[in-house]
Structure 1
Amino acid sequence: MSARVHAVLVARSGSTSLARLLRALDALAAQTRRPDALTIVACGPSSAMRSSVRVAQSAEAVIETKASTTLASAVALALPRVAKDADLWILTDDCAPAPSALEQLAGALERSPAAAIAAPKLLSDVDEHRIASFGQSMTRLGRAVDPARGELDQGQLDGQDDTLGADVRGLLIRAGRGLRPDPGLGGRDEGLDLGVRARLAGARIVLAPGARIAVDDTTGEGTAADAYARRRAQLHRRLSYAPAAAVPLHWLSLLPLALWRSITHLTGKRPAAVLPEWGAAGVAMVSGSAVARSRRAIKADRSASWASIAPLRMTRAQLRQHLDDGHGTEAGVHEELGFFSGGGAWAVLAALVAGVALFASLLAWPALGGGALLPMRETVAALWRDAAYGQRGFGVGVVGPADPFSGVLAVLGSLWPGAPSFSLVLLWVAALPLAMLGGWFAATRITDRPGLRILAGTVWALAPTFLIALADGRPAAVLLHLLLPWVFHTVLVAQRSWGAAGAASLLTAASLACAPSLAPAFVLLWLIAIVWLLVLRRVRGAVRMVWVLVPSVVVFAPLAIWQAARGTLWALLSDPGAILAAPQATADAAGRLALLGGLPTMDQAGWPALLHAHGAPWVLWLAAPLGVLAVVSTITRRWSVGIGSLLVAATGLATAFAVVGIAVAFTQSQAVPIWPGSALSLAWIGVLGGALVTLDCAITRPTWRGLAALVAAAGVVVCAVPTGVSLVTGEATIHRGELTTLPAYVSAQARGDRELGTLVLTAQPSGALGTTVVWGASATLGAQATMVSTATAPQGVDLTELSVDLVSARQFDAPKALGALGVRFVLVESAADKETSAARSLRLQAGTALDQRTGFVRVGETPRGVLWRMEAAPAARQGLTAGQRATAQLVVAIEIIVLLAALLLSIPTRSSRRAARAVPRAVGVLPERAPRPAKPERERRARPRRKPKTSPESLVIPAVAGAGSADPAGEAPDEQSAPSAQETAAPEPEAESTTSTEALLDAEETDGVAPPESATEVNVDDASEPRTGSAPAKEADE
């Protein structure tokens, strides 16, 4: 005879709690074998339950407790009311047992005397044929696995009756075993833990497939709360199950394991699990009493060894098989990239040939000079030191944040560690093929036509802003132009996956480091994207888009705080690197007209100088065809992509209009406006994207499409001719550079980036004296700091008075004053190309004054100027204070953590690549249109042929006159051979009101995997017929 059964039902408070509870009570009342007693534990307010007549009739008691009480703790509150000889049936308010559930569970315990627990088959209450849980296992490291979860219930598992554990909902625990859920698990894995304890006590858990219980299957998997609960339970079980001698080792490994698992979470594109990982580790470290209680409970009932559990653990191979869902793209469309087959590789190779032809002489140069180009540090360590918070490479006692651009240069110089300065030479030589490659890949987000992709790469590589930056020696503008296509490529799909968001965040940070003046434009576009995603209710995509700017905020935050503290927040927009005072578009109508034509300078792309003419106003119209194509994109079928592209172009153009009138940096006592070419690069990529949309969708005939593309590209090519000629003839600003900006004597003394100070005195054109201290062998590009170039007051130690006294007749101990600052050399720079009389007078006066001072040894005249060395050795350069060192360490640590997180997110994995292949590569692709059905021919009555008149002698009267005697040419079509309208009609296309962003984000809730019904346009070559998905309806009729 079966034992008594006492059911404990744990109910949670909520808007539907009473309805769920009543459903569970109805299911219990319908049982063929009803429980002998029922106790309800209400977690939260229970007034509604207590007032219910149905609850009062069914339950022998209602216990109220806190809403945060776990299931194990709730069951423990009801245990005093459970008789010692009664089996315990654990239920929750979402359980709806089948009528024979309890009978099957009790029968399973009767048939298996060694069984201590009987587990039911849990089914989803949404789909009764879907298994929610049926037996659980765990790996060697303690990871809980539910192998049957999500499978269709076809009876394939009904033959199993042995398992390691099970879901705690619906478990029937035999009386007298003393098995109770462990409150230390925090509400997760209670059933698995009960199964393990039963095994160690010499019993087992048996499966009852006939006991079916419908449960709520929406467990919130993938959320931070779920990750925290799982990890907390796993760590608690690990500390509870481990041998006593190993517990301290496990405790000490909690934080290192949290760090390692955080890295794996980021690599696996699960950033939401990082904070829960650390939270679970912290809770496990302070839960010693809970672990001790669990260990005592196991020890009290244990009669078997841990070897009895080993056969039921899931092996690594089984876990891999369980988690692996295949290698194909069953749910999506696989599109070939076509880089080699589509001619992309040949286009890049052609650009490489052109780059070598333009910059072949550069390969013999040790470094680049001219414009804003400077040498780089001799060692990689010094490059990264310049990129960190601390002492700057100029001035005395100047301590503060480095420009983010210094980090970009450190990465670039690390690619050629033997001679970092030569990395800039290689960058110039490879600039054209790299731009072609970036433009080609950016175009893959717009079109799948190989010809249009090559067009995009060509236009991007020959953009005037890029070629002028190469000719003028603007490394920041060159790097920005090379980075922008990849920003475009990743940001457009950043909402699809964390991998794309991580890559986009790094590229965005690097782009803003090269052009801080684009920050307002980037922020505006970023906010628009987030709002648009929220409007479409793509919350996950919006969260990923938020991350895109997080690394940029982190790397700019120290500099922003530093500038804000001095009231110079606008200085953040300054161009990084060396400040170059060169001709550029002005802030008047003529200058903005040049910007509207895509030109950052006023020389009309150099055509007047090349033609020896007074002007070439027609140059401003060369980019007009590209602009017209971009505007037309707003009325194409992919209008949303066209509008987005035009929004990018308008933002870039507006930024260029604004920055030409903003001057926040100074050089040679002259205020220098911000370079507008960086903003124009942003405008160029927007215009190019819109033009590609038009060529891809609006112009469907290959001939007309090719002609339009040729006209647009021809204008850009013509615009690029003068700059290319200047690079070939050597008339460009860039020239052979040296490895140092100081005399060779100083460079030799400071070899290896020794901290030797050189006081550099420069006669300004106005007759003023410019002064600065350069540390090391040279003034380097990475050592430049906008906190110095934009300063409105002297930074660090003010050298103004000391420098003026040094070049005047005032008598003082100059060597002692300079030596105390760590200065070893004094350099009076040589005259500029066009030296004013005031500057020449000051330079000669300075040289005379230094020759007359004691303690100074004249080294001699050098190409850099006249050099003096002090006889006495100077003091060492003053280091950082304790507070400054702590600040530097904190800033560097935070930046490394955030950038490392972004880098780990961006690393592709097998699953992320598979998910990316399951969605269209191009954005804004609408479902493919079906051709309109062919109109069936109207049935026409067959007209009998008019018979010729014959003579009566030749008249023949047929015996039977029928339709078959008619001419076949005049027969009516056979009903079976003539297709009807229903047979020829294709499915109706989806409404075009669906925006391209909606089509792009169809798979958002499945984390980047598109549903099977998502259709895309078909890959075709330029020479093929118009695509079905983009052809107008009129052509479909034709």
Structure 2
Amino acid sequence: MPARVHAIVVARPGESARAHLLHTLDALRAQSVRPAAVTIVVTGSAEALRRGDGLDGFVEGIIEGRGGMSFAEAIALAQPRVSAESAVWLLAQDTAPAPGALGHLTGALERSPSALIAAPKLVSLKDDREIVSLGISMSRYGRTVELAADELDQGQHDGIEDVLSADIRGMLIRSEARRHLQPDPALGDADEGLDLGVRARLGGGRVVLVPQARVGVAPDGPAALPRRDVARAWAVRRAQLHRRLSYAPAPAVPLHWLSLLPLALWRSITHLVGKRPAEVGPEWGAALAAMVRLPSVARSRAAIRSFRHASWSSIAPLRVSREQLRQRLDDGHGSEGGAVSELNFFSGGAAWAVIAAFVVGLTAFTSLLAWPVLGGGGLLPLRDTLTALWADAAWGSRGLGLDLVGPADPFSAVLAVLGSLWPGAPSTALLLVWLLALPLAVLGGWFAATRVTDRAGLRVLGGVVWALAPTFLTALVQGRPSAVLLHLLLPWVFHSAVVAHRSWGAAGAASLLTAAALACAPSLAPAFGLLWLIALVFALSAGRIRGAIRLMWVLIPSAVMFAPLVYWQVRHGDAWALLADPAVIRPTTSVTADAGGRAILATGFPSDDVAGWTWFAGPEMAAWIPLLLAPLALLALVAALSPRWRAGISLLVVAVCGFATAYLAVGVVVSFAEGVGVAIWPGTGLSLAWIGLLGGALVAADTVLSLGWARTAASLVTGLAVAACAVPALSAVHLGQSALRDGPESTLPAFVAAQSTAEVERGTLVLTPLNDGSLSTRLVWGSSDTLGAQTTMISTGSVAEDDLAVDAVDLLSARDFDAAATLAADGVSFVLLAQVDGEGDRARTMRGAATTAIDQRAGFVKAGETERGTLWRIEGAIAERPALTDAQQATARAVVAGQLLVILAALLLSIPTRASRRAARSRSRVVGRAPEEPLVLPRRRDDDVSSDEEEPNDVAEQPEAEETR
């Protein structure tokens, strides 16, 4: 046994720390083998400790160090007071050894001459049956691995003795090795014990584990890792990088140093995929710290060389292999004891519902199968190439207007993603959306219903009713791409957003889907913001801090995507323009902002034709059609009185927000088309209201209608009533009542399309005589006016094309000037005099006068009459479209890089992993389930229970689980 043991106790200042310290000193006095000397090092003022009682005669000295110093630095202060023949026992203010702990540790060193360090079993100070740490190893790449931690102590690890290292708290270091085995201050309160074990092995010794020596520890002492996630990640990663540079062979140190930043980038990606965004910042901070702390690395390497007597191969057998690490982190499927509900997509009838919707969709839109491009309403072709498609989605030169440079509408990014799904012909992707709209809506509605009910029939009802929503069918018939895409996205937003507080995976998916939904319907931003704020307040009031942090992330990608446009519109003094509908703005016969129009909105229909019933059965019959939606509305209202009333009321709040958005939107005019103000389309607000009403109805049917026959009858009545509402809209294409048309591949004449290439974009001045006698001007760049090129900067009038309007007026006037040279200097190669459908007398007169005026101008060569109108080509040298300046290019790069970075982070967070799937399976899929509410499990063929009376199950939704690491 060592002749002497000198205990060094590190303490913090303060009354709480003093109480812990006195408890530790009492434990030292109670040792069967008492230490010969005890030195206390206080990291701060020690005045209060010196004035206290109970230290005289037992503590040989009190050292006062600077505040905030590390555990290793505090130990170094006391080392000069330790005699050469004394072993050192490393303790902290919150380490309370059991009475026989020191005896077992000294006995282990006496029995094993090769042992340089003896380490105890660390147990919880509050409950000594819980193992805090018992042995530490590391992986091949230097990752610290606890051999036993956070386990119930049943003696299962007491046979372990030879380990690579252990936690530094409670370590007893042999006197002969004390000078060489001092904690490394550069590690910064992390991995000091592991580092001592590695150096002991390299010195020809070893670390012995003494499970019989028990030391109680607290989680917030001077030698413990920080409790906050960010601080812990910073300390652990900084120590790991320091050890990597200290342990590496000398030729490899420069390579490791050069790899620090690329490795930080890669690990940031893995942190996001692993749902650990809090570790991204510490990862970069640790990498930068390791790069500048080369003197500390040099001192650590010198300390290792001075004591090294063995090769690094002596450590290899004690490392944790990759397979062992995988087994150690695999804790099963995660569904043991959890309230799990399976999807049962195929066995629950969802697959059949999707197939049926596919058949109905093909039947309703059969004509689309023969169309290469979808047109009519607000539909236009997409760009021919992916490069041009994504260029329209980025900050830069816009595809419309004269010298217009600025931010793209976020909806252009949605179209770019959609077009990228069919790279050969991006416009085909939009056509497929219409053909697959109904099955996609059923699929989305069914998945959203899985958050509300476990019953297979109600889930199918949810999918079908969502697909047959009047606002969705109206958008399909009228050719509104943004509204159609929004309706397809909303169920997925709901599916992920309601569980965004549970995990980073759900929060990442919800953030991306929310950004896409708001891009399709910016007018929903106030409603989304209000709902987000309500959820955030509830999370904070319930003490779910981590859940609140995840909820905060949900709107960040949306804010980043809209930030350039927000800056642009606010700078031009038109903040209301941010709510404008994206894409093509057409004057439509939608509901008006008067009492009658808002009354129609209250029934759930976004247009005054009541989803086609006005022309299908006459106005008298159409007035009674809203009664078909009464069963759905009544069920939704009953949800507030159901056992799951919290979920019911929340869904009704969603419905109220949707209706309020529709009521306000119909009276807001921020866009202009052909000189006419166009109000925001209220159908997007009704889609949000529809998801709230449908969710509430499912809650009521699931919980209030306890009898199976009543639930079945209510579901059939609701579903058939909504299906009856959809009959005119589903037959509109065949009856010629739809705005959908066989769209052209280009909105410009073929001659113009042939002249424009990806390298040289030709400008075409499109002049359109209107029926009120005015003239609409539009400058289109490239081979066609495209959907992705549309911008609210023009449609809302935020950018005044004064120069272009003056040139157009002068062109048709009697003014004597070189019109061809003026337009050519602006990069205009063609002039197209277009013709509107249903041209009136005033428009026809304007057309004739314009044709005569242009024909009389020199420099205009008439290319002839085309399907798009009369075309002229401008002779002479055409100026190229101005390229972006250096400042504009820098702005474009900064904006695109910032947006891509945030979107990439959200995308990585949303990627499911094995751990995230396991965590999701441990929770009830249904949100808001009451604790007393039974869980409906899937039926088996051998069940004897009647289908009308489900077997009760008392498994309820579990409390919020910690994030799986």
TM range (shorter): over 0.9
CA contact (8 A) 1:928 1:1028 kept: no
**Identical positions, percent:** 58
Work out the CA distance in 1 between the residues paired with 2:137 and 2:165: 6
What's 1:71 paired with? Answer: 71
CA contact (8 A) 1:367 1:736 kept: yes
Q: How does 1:541-552 map to 2 (within 5 A)?
A: 541-552=547-558
Work out the CA distance in 2 between the residues paired with 1:557 and 1:145: 43
What's 1:512 paired with? Answer: 518
Please tell me whether residue 216 in structure 1 is matched to residue 218 in structure 2. yes
CA contact (8 A) 2:827 2:878 kept: yes
Work out the CA distance in 2 between the residues paired with 1:480 and 1:767: 36
* Aligned partner of 1:473 among 474, 479, 482: 479
Distance 1:833 1:854, change over 3 A: same
What's 1:105 paired with? Answer: 105
SS at structure 2 position matched to 1:505: helix
CA contact (8 A) 1:397 1:878 kept: yes
What's 2:915 paired with? Answer: 911
Please tell me whether residue 755 in structure 1 is matched to residue 761 in structure 2. yes
Please tell me whether residue 847 in structure 1 is matched to residue 770 in structure 2. no
Work out the CA distance in 2 between the residues paired with 1:23 and 1:618: 81
Please tell me whether residue 898 in structure 1 is matched to residue 902 in structure 2. yes
- Letter of the 1:340 partner, please give it: F
Per mean C-alpha deviation after superposition, the further-off stretch among 131-140 and 599-608 is: 599-608
Work out the CA distance in 2 between the residues paired with 1:809 and 1:637: 77
CA contact (8 A) 1:1018 1:1029 kept: no
Q: How far apart are 1:328 and its partner, in Å? A: 5.4
What's 1:198 paired with? Answer: 200
- Letter of the 1:235 partner, please give it: L
SS at structure 2 position matched to 1:760: strand
Q: How does 1:100-139 map to 2 (within 5 A)?
A: 100-139=100-139
Distance 1:831 1:588, change over 3 A: closer
CA contact (8 A) 1:497 1:544 kept: yes
Q: Which runs of 5+ in 2 are unaligned?
A: 955-965
Please tell me whether residue 835 in structure 1 is matched to residue 840 in structure 2. yes
TM-score normalised over the length of structure 1: 0.89
What's 1:768 paired with? Answer: 774
Work out the CA distance in 2 between the residues paired with 1:162 and 1:1020: 52
What's 2:143 paired with? Answer: 143
Q: Which runs of 5+ in 1 are unaligned?
A: 930-1014, 1032-1038
CA contact (8 A) 1:754 1:777 kept: no
Distance 1:614 1:106, change over 3 A: closer
- Letter of the 1:448 partner, please give it: D
Q: How far apart are 1:160 and its partner, in Å? A: 2.8
Q: How far apart are 1:538 and its partner, in Å? A: 1.3
- Letter of the 1:834 partner, please give it: E
What's 2:459 paired with? Answer: 453
- Letter of the 2:201 partner, please give it: R
What's 1:88 paired with? Answer: 88
Work out the CA distance in 2 between the residues paired with 1:777 and 1:1023: 65
Distance 1:168 1:336, change over 3 A: same
Work out the CA distance in 2 between the residues paired with 1:14 and 1:591: 70
Q: How far apart are 1:156 and its partner, in Å? A: 3.2
SS at structure 1 position matched to 2:63: strand
Work out the CA distance in 2 between the residues paired with 1:879 and 1:829: 29
Distance 1:869 1:313, change over 3 A: same
What's 1:39 paired with? Answer: 39
Work out the CA distance in 1 between the residues paired with 2:724 and 2:362: 20
Q: How far apart are 1:1016 and its partner, in Å? A: 3.3
Q: How far apart are 1:492 and its partner, in Å? A: 1.2
Q: How far apart are 1:326 and its partner, in Å? A: 1.9
Distance 1:144 1:344, change over 3 A: same
SS at structure 2 position matched to 1:825: strand
Please tell me whether residue 660 in structure 1 is matched to residue 579 in structure 2. no
Q: How does 1:525-544 map to 2 (within 5 A)?
A: 525-544=531-550
Work out the CA distance in 1 between the residues paired with 2:949 and 2:647: 20
- Letter of the 2:369 partner, please give it: L
TM-score normalised over the length of structure 2: 0.95
Work out the CA distance in 2 between the residues paired with 1:452 and 1:331: 26
- Letter of the 2:948 partner, please give it: E
What's 1:819 paired with? Answer: 824
CA contact (8 A) 1:806 1:849 kept: yes
Who wins on radius of gyration, i.e. which is larger?
A: 1
Please tell me whether residue 706 in structure 1 is matched to residue 706 in structure 2. no
What's 1:1016 paired with? Answer: 935
CA contact (8 A) 1:577 1:785 kept: yes
Q: How does 1:559-574 map to 2 (within 5 A)?
A: 559-574=565-580
CA contact (8 A) 1:339 1:345 kept: yes
* Aligned partner of 2:864 among 839, 860, 884: 860
Q: How far apart are 1:831 and its partner, in Å? A: 4.2
SS at structure 2 position matched to 1:759: strand
Q: How does 1:793-804 map to 2 (within 5 A)?
A: 793-794=799-800, 798-804=803-809
Work out the CA distance in 2 between the residues paired with 1:772 and 1:24: 83
CA contact (8 A) 1:382 1:753 kept: no
What's 1:616 paired with? Answer: 622
Work out the CA distance in 2 between the residues paired with 1:330 and 1:59: 51
Distance 1:877 1:793, change over 3 A: closer
What's 2:812 paired with? Answer: 807
Q: How far apart are 1:40 and its partner, in Å? A: 1.1
Work out the CA distance in 2 between the residues paired with 1:924 and 1:616: 38
SS at structure 2 position matched to 1:137: strand
CA contact (8 A) 1:824 1:873 kept: no
Q: How does 1:297-446 map to 2 (within 5 A)?
A: 297-327=303-333, 329-446=335-452
Work out the CA distance in 1 between the residues paired with 2:310 and 2:939: 68
Work out the CA distance in 2 between the residues paired with 1:2 and 1:726: 95
- Letter of the 1:62 partner, please give it: I
CA contact (8 A) 1:830 1:863 kept: no
Work out the CA distance in 2 between the residues paired with 1:909 and 1:915: 10
CA contact (8 A) 2:569 2:798 kept: no
* Aligned partner of 1:556 among 562, 565, 585: 562
What's 1:250 paired with? Answer: 256
Work out the CA distance in 1 between the residues paired with 2:888 and 2:318: 57
What's 2:961 paired with? Answer: none
CA RMSD of aligned residues (A): 1.8
Question: How far does the alpha carbon of each residue in 1:261-316 deviate from its partner, in whole angstroms, 9 at most, with x for none?
Answer: 11111111111111111111111111111111101111122121111111111111
Number of residue pairs the alignment of both structures matches: 944
Per mean C-alpha deviation after superposition, the further-off stretch among 916-925 and 468-477 is: 916-925
Q: How far apart are 1:662 and its partner, in Å? A: 0.1
Work out the CA distance in 2 between the residues paired with 1:907 and 1:56: 61
Work out the CA distance in 2 between the residues paired with 1:905 and 1:14: 42
* Aligned partner of 1:1026 among 943, 949, 960: 949
Please tell me whether residue 651 in structure 1 is matched to residue 657 in structure 2. yes
CA contact (8 A) 1:663 1:673 kept: yes
Work out the CA distance in 1 between the residues paired with 2:578 and 2:57: 72
Work out the CA distance in 2 between the residues paired with 1:739 and 1:617: 40
Distance 1:443 1:198, change over 3 A: same
SS at structure 1 position matched to 2:400: coil
Q: How far apart are 1:529 and its partner, in Å? A: 0.5
SS at structure 2 position matched to 1:582: coil
Question: How far does the alpha carbon of each residue in 1:303-355 deviate from its partner, in whole angstroms, 9 at most, with x for none?
Answer: 21111111111111111111111235223133321111111100110000000
Q: How far apart are 1:836 and its partner, in Å? A: 4.2
CA contact (8 A) 2:572 2:798 kept: no
Distance 1:1029 1:728, change over 3 A: farther
- Letter of the 1:1016 partner, please give it: L
Q: How far apart are 1:467 and its partner, in Å? A: 0.6
Q: How far apart are 1:653 and its partner, in Å? A: 0.3
Q: How far apart are 1:767 and its partner, in Å? A: 2.7
Q: How far apart are 1:221 and its partner, in Å? A: 6.2
Work out the CA distance in 2 between the residues paired with 1:249 and 1:793: 53
Per mean C-alpha deviation after superposition, the further-off stretch among 578-587 and 328-337 is: 328-337
CA contact (8 A) 1:377 1:780 kept: yes
* Aligned partner of 1:599 among 593, 605, 619: 605
Work out the CA distance in 1 between the residues paired with 2:841 and 2:183: 90
Work out the CA distance in 1 between the residues paired with 2:953 and 2:472: 33
- Letter of the 2:193 partner, please give it: G
Q: How far apart are 1:607 and its partner, in Å? A: 2.1
What's 2:153 paired with? Answer: 153
Q: How far apart are 1:222 and its partner, in Å? A: 7.5
